[in-house]
Amino acid sequence: MIVVNRFRVPEAEGESFRADLQRAHDALAECPGFLTGTMGRNVDDPELWVLTTTWEHVGAYRRSLSSYDVKLHAVPTLGRALDEPSAYEIADPGTDLNTRAARSLG
């Protein structure tokens, strides 16, 4: 699964935000199920930043958010993300895509 967090950061805060984003990335990278992550800044709009992470499955990502180190070093930065959906399933050819449906709890 892929998680895409986008951020709108004033240019004057760019360098300090970059350090914060690196700390968030590093904290997430220590969690079980983390596969890879990339930080980026938009080439046309330097106030737009992104943190993209890839996880073994949605449960691994959700559990990572409960980690003490993630709460301490990542959640304050992730809380600045734009309010938009951020979790994506891998849609490579041959993969089964999720279907929107009510799920039973048992």
Beta-ladder partners of 36 = 54
Predicted confidence (pLDDT) per residue in 16-69, tens digit: 999 999 999 999 999 999 999 999 999 999 999 999 999 999 999 999 999 999
- What is the pLDDT, as a whole number, of residue 104? 75
CB atoms within 10 A of CB 3: 19
Q: Distance between CA 24 and CA 69 in Å, rounded?
A: 9
Q: Is the separation of the CB atoms in 80 and 7 below 8 Å?
A: yes
- What is the pLDDT, as a whole number, of residue 9? 98
Q: Distance between CA 89 and CA 83 in Å, rounded?
A: 19
Residue 74 has pLDDT above 80, yes or no: yes
Residues of the chain with pLDDT > 70, as a percent, come to: 98
Whole-prediction pTM: 0.88
